[in-house]
Chain A
Amino acid sequence: MLNTLRKVPEKLIDENNVRLDRRGVNDLRPVKIEAGVLVNADGSAYIEQGKNKILAAVYGPKELHPKHLALPDRAILRCRYHMAPFSVQERKSPAPSRREMELSKVIRESLEPSIFLEYYPRTSIDLFIEVLQADGGTRCAGITVASLALADAGIPMRDLVAACAAGKVEGKLVLDLTDLEDKGGEADLPLAWMPTLNSVTLLQMDGMLTTDEFEQAVNIAIEGCKQIYKLQKEALKAKYVAVREEAEE
């Protein structure tokens, strides 16, 4: 509470279409992604998107406990999205909130279409997403980093899933909203996208948009996902370049 109680400033976008953090309306925040950051996990990744800092880890495919949850023809994906108590302005109780329960579900459903679950019957793949610092768009950054962690674990996938939000702030459609823009804006539309299959695997919206604006926002979000997808691929490749350099030394 003591440090900088932020107030919503009067204008989030100035007359030249420049946002508070100097971005244009169609710009992403600076994104840094790294694969293979945790030793114990079968796969892991870390993302920084603006002030968001999120870790993801994958354990499995492994034997499932309790056993009765196992499916005879495919693996089950279990997902936990969780925010650290210190990740937001006012301390968040570490117990899972209703929001986190819902997000865990929609994130799982956004990643399931990308995985060949039928290759690993009777097993589980456990996915943990820990938000260390949050500044709007954590579910999307969470999906982006989780998909990379799944790839890092060597799990066969149809495609990487990239996610990004679009929304409406002060009457303008914008990409990748910060927490301030989400709270002060008119609408927020998180979307996850598998490029090679042209498929939307997560779509939510709250706020108020006309049908036309809604369709435009979907397209803006997809453009953002395309940029993030590139960064995901680079991060995955970078890990193996690093490994090879080590081997050559």
Chain B
Amino acid sequence: MSSTIVARVKQRQIAQLISLGKRLDGRGLTDYREVQVETGVIERAEGSARVLLGKTEVMVGVKIEVGEPFPDVPNEGVLTVNAELVPLASPTFEPGPPDENSIELARIVDRGIRESKAIALEELCVEPGKKVFVVFVDVYVLNHDGNLIDASAIAALAALLNTKMCKYEVKEGEIKIKPGYSPLPIRNYPIAVTFAKISDKLVVDPWLDEEQVMDARLTITMEKDGKICAVQKGGYGYFTTQQISEAAKIAQEKTQELRKHLVKG
């Protein structure tokens, strides 16, 4: 079945079950699908991870290069997040320059990492105003079965935690590589939790068919101490203030649960 159109009968079934507090795939409203994380899958990349969220599959590769800092923060490294919705992942993904969906995905992942100050960018400065390390986080969606945001956020963090940089020294403004590796300085662990609103109820981790039925989507990203560091609403519908408060409470619990897949203890 390659079609992404969900039959009306199935749409109604999904919506009716959710109004009764049940889901078509047997999960509870706040249950995640099985999460599998594998790191170091691409040897050529400085860091990498492959994450399965049910059947949704996302790979993230981290590359580090030397570049120029932004003029307003001359002594900080640069973080760049990009997402590719690879055409082999879904019949709805087309080749070509990034569309608004992949840009939005990349920017939500970026905001979580940036606002929680997950990477100690100030430690990635080589020569203030001239030379810094640029961290490229490339999100590669390999199979689309819904909730790309959470899968990508987990994969991005897993890949960053897996990243090793060459040791180096600076001689007369030039970088000299020394033997050995050191881990990328990671200070925080942002995790995204995405809700779909269906039948006026909130469900977490919507799969593809639920995404076709949902009225609206809400993503809350929390850092390690349970503070909110990024929020994004998507979709054609709306949320009430009660639903937003409810989502924030559920996210508190779910981010802790998901973080256990990446950070032990």
Residues of A within 8 A of B (CB): 98-99, 101-102, 104-106, 109-110, 112-113, 189, 194, 197-211, 214-215, 218-219, 222
Contacts and interface: CB of A to CB of B under 8 A. Distances in A.
A98 B238 contact: no
A104 B237 contact: no
Contacts of A98: 98, 103, 106-107
B248 A101 contact: no
A207 B115 contact: yes
Contacts of A113: 236-238
17 contacts: A98-B98, A98-B103, A101-B100, A102-B103, A113-B237, A200-B244, A202-B233, A204-B232, A205-B230, A206-B114, A208-B115, A208-B116, A210-B226, A211-B248, A214-B228, A214-B231, A215-B245
Interface in B198-256: 216, 218, 223, 226-241, 244-245, 248-249, 252
The CB with the most chain A CB atoms within 10 A, among B114, B218, B229, is that of B229
B231 A204 contact: yes
B100 A105 contact: yes
Interface in B125-144: none
A202 B232 CA distance: 8
Size category of the B interface is 35 or more
B100 A200 contact: no
Contact of B229 (A110, A198, A200, A208): A208
Interface of B: 98, 100-101, 103-104, 106-107, 111, 114-116, 216, 218, 223, 226-241, 244-245, 248-249, 252
B238 to A, nearest CB: 3
A206 B249 CA distance: 18
Closest 10 CB pairs of A and B: A199-B238, A205-B231, A203-B233, A105-B100, A112-B236, A201-B238, A101-B103, A200-B239, A206-B115, A211-B248
What secondary structure prevails in chain A residues at the interface with B? helix
A24 B222 CA distance: 30
Given A101-B100, A200-B241, A215-B245, A106 B234 contact: yes
B231 A210 contact: no
Nearest to A98: B103
A109 B115 CA distance: 24
B114 to A, nearest CB: 8
A197 B238 contact: yes
A50 B185 CA distance: 41
A177 B236 CA distance: 26
Contacts of A105: 100-101, 103-104, 234
Contacts of B103: 98, 101-102, 105
A204 B110 CA distance: 14
Contacts of B238: 113, 194, 197, 199-201
Contacts of A109: 216, 233-236
A211 B100 contact: no
Nearest to A202: B233
Nearest to B239: A200
B241 A219 contact: yes
